[in-house]
């Protein structure tokens, strides 16, 4: 973890930063943040424990521990990243380490929605493109400037289009990824729905 | 696009609005909370100066961090004590019903809610836990959410979500003797892959599913998420209604009749449309054991660990990682693999029927020397029922430790953990690296009956050799 952590807020239009590659399919949220770190009543201290067991095993050779990745903020992953437990602690830990966006072949469903809910855009690219980027990063630094409006990633050598769910993209552009306010706006519709539901007439639960 | 499935009916009924971004605002009929994923959500409410909108629609219990040896307060672990105190305080402040330790109704949230009759057909159910899919066994649409969404449910009783596609998994014929719901769901995950269900709700159907008890159906839906599906469900039938009837929070008297009428209308229509249908033959499923580091890496008890050539290119890299981590060779049999720890419990297999099956295998037998074996009932109710039936004695006489209810070594947030690279035979749901509390610990997932058989022999065994004698 680097400088003081400032969570994202409002519209997210652009993210730029250095890429860091983490190779492997089916990386689960227990690996991202082992369960013993879930014993907390806030997320503040999670950044330093992200991938703790993998990092200990690799004794300083884990991508997150390499000097050249110290200031990286765009994570490049493979398929089914974030599978398993629904713990939001996983993306919270990544975010507190410094990750601002993730590009991968595919994401597990709950991890993906947790990322959206805390302001980390997750983009997808075909398997081959991800592997090409990861190979490239092996040898050279890759800085990307991601423009959410056009789903476009630019580097010094090339431009490419990133895939992102349209609803997620729109939420980042409007700031509605931080959903509470939007949901609250429909309070009267919620009340109406509550009264319409058959089971609310079956007595108290 | 699916049409007229139970999923479509329940989703459409709970849709409050289409949000500007294009996702749906969905009303949550029942919100379950526990100590691990809720404190930050309550903290966020406080920061935003918001109240809990429908406190009657949220129910709490404590499960993940509770010790299973000594539950007297304060807990020995200060952080665990702090977490339960925070939940107690939040529930009191926001007038949320809380089933605490000693209430007679505490336990793993996905065991407790069905026991109380809170889990009912046609509800949307959310909880900050991925195994919320369990509740789909009753024909509800139930899914895990993260803490920010817990905050949203507390504040608005709704969340923003994209509608899922629906895949029917049709299971023909019947499971054979000695083969259980756990084996079937491990088989399904192996067939469809750990990410096969991403973007889908799984509808489990067919004669093999209809024949299952409610508790077995919960085991199936519980592990939908291990196949990538955030939500899994089964159309409700007479078994569902009989299970719910007379439970504490079930509708009573004339409300029961009204509920029943509505519940019967919910099942997927005969001419409904699925986004995908997969068929499999349940009679071909054998006792199944995982050998790797994802729940999809499983084989039948008499099969050999696959070699890279047996696997698709997508599965090869994780397989290589698994061989190395587990210390297994391709071609090795899983049967006779020595185990160190045997764990029966969890939201997958910690219910009374699971304990009964395991106790039947263990009766008049002894756990093998040097094996640490322990059973953690899924709830206080399960524990009480087991004691009434004398199951606790059968377990203890065989050499199992009898513990207090909680999640325990399924995720090892309390002091129940593997040590070093111990191998555990576990009735839980995840065999991820480090999952059971040791960064090098190794987990073999299997049915509770198979865990009992492994405990007796000290190695992975075919439970059919015990029950078919």
Burial class (CB within 10 angstroms; exposed 0-12, middle 13-18, buried 19+) of B144: buried
Report the DSSP beta bridge partners of residue B229: none
Q: What pLDDT, in 10s, does the model give residues B3-18? A: 999 999 999 999 999 9
User: Distances from the Cα of B311 to the Cαs of A176, B279, B299, B318, B426, in angstroms?
Assistant: 42, 21, 13, 10, 25
Domains of chain B: 6-264 (3.30.499.10), 288-467 (3.30.499.10)
State the nearest Cα–Cα gap between A156 and chain B, in angstroms: 31
pLDDT at B340 over 70: yes
CB contact under 8 A, A87 and B146: yes
Of A30, A88, A110, the CB nearest to B432: A30
Residue-level pLDDT at B467:
87
| Secondary structure of chain B in HEC code, one letter for each residue | CCECCHHHHHHHHHEEEECCCCCEEEECCEEEECCCCCHHHHHHHHHCCCCCCCHHHEEEECCCCCCCCCCCCCCCCHHHHHHHHHHHHHHHHHCCEEECCCCCCCECHHHHHHHHCCCCCCCEEEECCHHHHHHHHHCCEEEECCHHHHHHHHHHCEEEECCCEEEEEEEECCCCCCCCHHHHHHHHHHHHCCCCCCCEEEEEECHHHHCCCHHHHHHHHHHHHHHCCCEEECCCCHHHHHHHCCCCCCCCHHHHHHHHHHHHCCCCCCCCECCEEEEEEHHHCCCEEECCCCCCCEEECCCECCCHHHCCHHHHHHHHHHHHHHCCCCCCECCCCECCEEEECHHHHCCHHHHHHHHHHHCCCCCCCCCEEEECCCEHHHHHHHHHCCHHHHHHHHCCEECCCCCHHHCCCCCCCCCCCCEEEECCCCCCCCCCCCCCCEEEECCHHHHHHHHHHCECCCCHHHHCC
Average pLDDT over residues B45-57: 97
Task: Indicate the pLDDT class of residue B469, thresholds 50, 70 and 90.
Answer: low
Sheet of B24-27: strand order equals B15-18, B24-27, B158-161
- The answer as to whether A127 is a domain residue is yes
Average pLDDT over residues B405-421: 97
In B, minimum Cα distance to A81 occurs at B195
CB contact under 8 A, B149 and A113: yes
Residue-level pLDDT at B279:
98
Of A41, A199, A204, the CB nearest to B39: A41
Q: What percent of chain B has pLDDT over 70?
A: 100
In A, minimum Cα distance to B65 occurs at A39
CB contact under 8 A, A201 and B258: yes
Q: Rounded to whole angstroms, how far apart are CA atoms B50 and B39?
A: 15
- The answer as to whether A199 is a domain residue is no
Residue-level pLDDT at A205:
77
CB contact under 8 A, A109 and B22: no
State the nearest Cα–Cα gap between A106 and chain B, in angstroms: 9
Q: Rounded to whole angstroms, how far apart are CA atoms B343 and B375?
A: 6
Q: What pLDDT, in 10s, does the model give residues B66-98? A: 999 999 999 999 999 999 999 999 999 999 999
User: Distances from the Cα of B28 to the Cαs of A48, B13, B34, B128, B144, in angstroms?
Assistant: 35, 11, 17, 13, 12
- The answer as to whether A194 is a domain residue is no
Q: Rounded to whole angstroms, how far apart are CA atoms B211 and B431?
A: 28
Mean pLDDT of chain A: 95
- The answer as to whether A142 is a domain residue is yes
Average pLDDT over residues A94-116: 98
Residue-level pLDDT at B82:
96
Of A31, A165, A168, the CB nearest to B434: A31
Burial class (CB within 10 angstroms; exposed 0-12, middle 13-18, buried 19+) of B468: exposed
CB contact under 8 A, A39 and B439: no
Q: Which residues of A touch B77 (CB under 8 A)?
A: 39
Average pLDDT over residues B429-452: 98
CATH number, residue A36: 3.20.19.10
- Which tokens hold the place of B283? 């009679």
CB contact burial B414-451 (16+ within 10 A = b; e otherwise)? bbbbbeeebbbbbbbbbbbbbbbbbbebbbbbbbbbbb
Question: Nearest 5°: CA angle at A99, between A95 and A102?
Answer: 115
- Which tokens hold the place of B246? 């007379």
CB contact burial B166-181 (16+ within 10 A = b; e otherwise)? bbbbbbeeebeebbbb
- The answer as to whether A140 is a domain residue is yes
The count of structural domains within chain A is 1
Of B122, B159, B255, the CB nearest to A203: B255
- The answer as to whether A200 is a domain residue is no
Q: Rounded to whole angstroms, how far apart are CA atoms B241 and B260?
A: 7
Task: Indicate the pLDDT class of residue B1, thresholds 50, 70 and 90.
Answer: very high
Q: What pLDDT, in 10s, does the model give residues B206-259? A: 999 999 999 999 999 999 999 999 999 999 999 999 999 999 999 999 999 999
CB contact under 8 A, A174 and B16: no
Residues of the domain holding A57: 14-175
pLDDT at A158 over 90: no
Of A41, A87, A204, the CB nearest to B86: A41
Is-contact B414 B68, C-beta < 8 A? yes
pLDDT at A1 over 50: no
Provide the ipTM.
0.96
State the nearest Cα–Cα gap between A194 and chain B, in angstroms: 8
| Secondary structure of chain A in HEC code, one letter for each residue | CCCCCCCCCCCCCEEEEEEEECCCCCCEHHHHCCHHHHCCCCCCCCHHHCCHHHHHHHCCCCHHHCHHHCCEEEEEECCCECECCCCCHHHHHHHHHCCCEEEECCECHHHHHHHHHHCCCEEECCHHHHHHHHHHHHHCCCEEEEECCCCEEECCCCEEECECCHHHHHHHHHCCCCCHHHHHHCHHHHHHHHHHCHHHHCCCC
Q: What pLDDT, in 10s, does the model give residues B384-403? A: 999 999 999 999 999 999 99
- The answer as to whether A202 is a domain residue is no
Q: Which residues of B touch A182 (CB under 8 A)?
A: 19-20, 160
- The answer as to whether A123 is a domain residue is yes
Instruction: Identify the CA nearest to B196 among candidates A32, A165, A109.
Output: A109
């Amino acid at each position: 973890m680097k400088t003081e952590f400032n969570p994202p807020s409002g519209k997210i239009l652009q993210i730029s930063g250095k890429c860091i590659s983490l190779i492997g399919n089916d990386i689960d949220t227990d690996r991202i943040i082992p369960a013993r770190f879930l014993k907390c009543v806030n997320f503040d201290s999670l950044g330093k424990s992200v991938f703790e067991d993998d990092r200990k095993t690799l004794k300083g050779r884990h991508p997150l521990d390499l000097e050249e990745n110290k200031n990286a903020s765009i994570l490049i992953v493979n398929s089914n990243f974030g599978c398993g437990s629904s713990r939001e602690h996983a993306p919270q830990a990544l975010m507190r380490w410094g990750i601002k966006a993730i590009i991968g072949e595919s994401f597990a469903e709950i991890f993906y929605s947790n990322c959206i809910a805390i302001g980390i855009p997750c983009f997808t690219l075909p398997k081959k493109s991800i592997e090409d980027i990861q190979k490239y990063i092996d040898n050279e630094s890759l800085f990307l400037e991601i423009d959410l409006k056009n789903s476009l990633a630019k580097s010094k050598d090339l431009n490419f289009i990133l895939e992102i769910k349209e609803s997620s993209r729109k939420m980042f552009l409007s700031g509605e990824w931080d959903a509470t306010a939007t949901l609250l706006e429909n309070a009267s519709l919620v009340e109406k729905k509550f009264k319409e539901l058959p089971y609310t007439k079956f007595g108290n639960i | 696009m699916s049409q007229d499935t139970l999923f479509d009916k329940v989703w459409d009924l709970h849709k409050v609005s289409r949000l500007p971004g294009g996702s749906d605002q969905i009303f949550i009929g029942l919100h379950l909370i526990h100590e691990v994923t809720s404190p930050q959500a309550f903290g966020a409410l406080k920061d935003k100066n918001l109240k809990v909108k429908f406190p009657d629609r949220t129910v709490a219990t404590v499960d993940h961090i509770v010790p299973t040896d000594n539950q007297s307060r304060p807990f020995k672990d200060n952080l665990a004590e702090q977490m339960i105190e925070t939940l107690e305080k939040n529930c009191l402040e926001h007038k949320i019903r809380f089933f605490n330790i000693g209430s007679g109704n505490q336990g793993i949230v996905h065991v407790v809610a069905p026991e109380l009759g809170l889990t009912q057909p046609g509800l949307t159910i959310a909880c900050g836990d991925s195994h919320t899919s369990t509740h789909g066994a009753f024909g509800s649409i139930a899914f895990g959410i993260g803490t920010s969404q817990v905050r949203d449910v507390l504040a608005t009783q709704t969340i923003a979500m994209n509608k899922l596609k629906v895949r029917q998994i049709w299971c023909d014929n019947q499971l054979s003797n000695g083969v259980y719901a756990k084996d079937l769901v491990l088989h399904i995950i192996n067939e469809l892959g750990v990410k096969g269900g991403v973007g889908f709700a799984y509808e489990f159907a067919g004669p093999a599913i209809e024949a299952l008890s409610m508790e077995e159906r919960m085991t199936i839906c519980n592990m939908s998420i291990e196949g990538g599906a955030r939500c899994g469900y089964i159309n409700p039938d007479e078994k569902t209604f009989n299970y719910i009837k007379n439970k504490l929070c079930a509708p009573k008297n004339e409300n029961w009749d009204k509920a029943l009428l509505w519940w019967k209308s919910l099942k997927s229509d005969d001419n409904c449309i699925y986004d995908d249908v997969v068929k499999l033959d349940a009679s071909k499923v054998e006792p199944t054991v995982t050998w790797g580091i994802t729940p999809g890496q499983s084989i039948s008890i008499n099969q050999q660990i696959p070699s890279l050539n047996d696997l698709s290119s997508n599965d090869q890299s994780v397989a290589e990682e698994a061989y190395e981590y587990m210390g297994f060779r391709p071609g090795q049999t899983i049967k006779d693999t020595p185990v160190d720890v045997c764990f029966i419990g969890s939201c997958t297999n910690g219910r009374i029927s699971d304990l009964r099956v395991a106790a039947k295998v263990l009766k008049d037998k002894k756990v093998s020397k040097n094996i640490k074996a322990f059973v953690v009932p899924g709830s206080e109710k399960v524990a009480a029922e087991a004691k009434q039936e004398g199951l606790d004695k059968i377990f203890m006489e065989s050499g199992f430790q009898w513990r207090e209810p909680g999640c325990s070594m399924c995720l090892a947030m309390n002091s129940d953990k593997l040590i070093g690279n111990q191998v555990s035979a576990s009735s839980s749901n995840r065999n991820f690296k480090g999952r059971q509390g040791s960064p090098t610990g190794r987990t073999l997932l299997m049915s509770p009956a198979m865990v009992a058989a492994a405990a007796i022999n000290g190695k992975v065994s075919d439970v059919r050799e015990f029950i078919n004698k």
